């Protein structure tokens, strides 16, 4: 298995977690949880998401949101259909309404002290 496919598999598993929790996550948070850097301007995680969209089209790729909360129109449409609020911003793009409240937070596992 290549590094790209291993990363895409990890991202797919995180998207499944997000779907079950009915939450969103930033690209950086997803990359961090998957164990790799998001890359310059998020290129590495974006490439993984393209693979996920191609190989696992049933997963809700649109739950992976830019760190700024800004969306492209197709992602905004999917989020609206998923029950999330979006609003237009000045440059013709969209952003998630109440962005911080929609984000998944992963608690670090607490290791018992002996």
CATH for 43? 1.10.10.10
Q: Between residues 105 and 63, which one has the greater pLDDT?
A: 63
Q: What is the pLDDT of residue 92?
A: 78
Q: pTM of the predicted model, to two decimals? A: 0.86
| Residue (of 9, 59, 14) closest to 33 by Cα position | 14
Cβ pair 105, 27 in contact under 8 A? no
**Residue 19 belongs to what domain range?**
3-102
User: Which residues on adjacent β-strands are paired with residue 71?
Assistant: 94
Average pLDDT, integer, range 73-82: 92
Asked whether residue 107 is domain-assigned, the answer is: no
In whole angstroms, give the CA distance from residue 70 to residue 95: 4
Q: What is the pLDDT of residue 77?
A: 93
Asked whether residue 109 is domain-assigned, the answer is: no
Asked whether residue 28 is domain-assigned, the answer is: yes
Asked whether residue 13 is domain-assigned, the answer is: yes
Asked whether residue 113 is domain-assigned, the answer is: no
Asked whether residue 112 is domain-assigned, the answer is: no
pLDDT of 44-59, one tens digit each?
999 999 999 999 888 9
How many structural domains comprise the chain?
1
Q: What is the pLDDT of residue 66?
A: 93
């Amino acid at each position: 298995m290549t590094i790209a496919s291993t990363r895409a598999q990890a991202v797919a598993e995180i998207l499944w977690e997000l779907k079950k929790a009915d939450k969103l996550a930033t690209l950086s948070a997803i990359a961090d949880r998957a164990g790799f850097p998001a890359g310059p301007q998020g290129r590495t995680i974006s490439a993984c998401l393209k693979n996920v969209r191609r190989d696992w089209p049933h997963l809700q790729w649109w739950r992976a949101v830019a760190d700024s909360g800004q969306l492209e129109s197709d992602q905004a449409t999917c989020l609206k259909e998923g029950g999330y609020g979006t609003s237009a911003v000045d440059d013709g793009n969209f952003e998630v309404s109440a962005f911080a409240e929609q984000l998944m937070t992963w608690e670090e596992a607490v290791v018992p002290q002996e």
